[in-house]
Amino acid sequence: MGEESLGIIELLDSTYSQLVNRHSPRELRFERSEFSDETTAISKIADDSDYHRTRIGYMYYENIGLFNLEGRVWAISRGKKGGSYPGDNYVGDIIALDLVLDGKPEEKIKEELSEKMGVGAYFMNTMLLGLRDGNLGIKRKAPYGVPTRFGERMVQLVSPRIKEFISQMPEYNPELLLVSTGQPVTTKTMLYKPETSVFLADCVKQVLRETN
């Protein structure tokens, strides 16, 4: 394991940066909420609410790039975990939403993207997902068995090769459990070789090219 190894947050950031450096997208920035440093563009990932209190976990998105890939516009963004404890297993993701610009003003585009993020809850539009122990995740299905948009194809491309990019496996303390998730405390997180982001960016591009 070298000093250049990437944690999961760095890996997601680096993968998104790979896409930006290759395609120089137009970037939009979402406004921050008046109640926190998080933005108004969110997608729900977990809900433990009941009649007495609201407990919702979500991903929020600060910047989104409008990528022109072979004549089709994809809005790609790097999400960060926010909200309450549900979903604390996750730390971030990379989502993709197709978009028809058609001369729309920036505010209209941002409004449309925020709406699509809200509708696409539970990782429906997520391509890559970061877990708290450093694992890289991909969601095949949302609640009730509904297939996510990119999950199955991303699994086919990423799973056969991801082990060759791991520089450190995670370790756990089975005697200590996280109150929020009930899972063992992570004592060492998974780390990845620097070139992992190049591989993942290639996978993202391929899946988007193939998606109807």
Which parts of the chain fold into alpha helices (H)? 8-23, 106-119, 151-158, 196-210
Average pLDDT, the chain: 93
For residue 51, pLDDT beyond 60: yes
- Any domain includes 124: yes
Inter-residue contact 11 to 200 (CB < 8 Å): yes
* Entry pTM: 0.92
For residue 2, pLDDT beyond 60: no
- Any domain includes 167: no
Q: What gap in Å lies between CA 95 and CA 211, rounded to an integer?
A: 14
Give 152's DSSP letter: H
Q: Number of structural domains, the chain?
A: 1
- Any domain includes 88: yes
Q: Which domain holds residue 127?
A: 8-31+41-162+197-210
- Any domain includes 45: yes
Residue with tokens 């996510």: 148
For residue 1, pLDDT beyond 50: no
- Any domain includes 102: yes
Q: What gap in Å lies between CA 74 and CA 76, rounded to an integer?
A: 6
Inter-residue contact 45 to 87 (CB < 8 Å): yes
Give the pLDDT of residue 35: 67
For residue 18, pLDDT beyond 50: yes
- Any domain includes 116: yes
Write out pLDDT tens, residues 160-182: 999 999 999 999 998 888 876 77
- Any domain includes 181: no
- Any domain includes 113: yes
Give the pLDDT of residue 47: 92
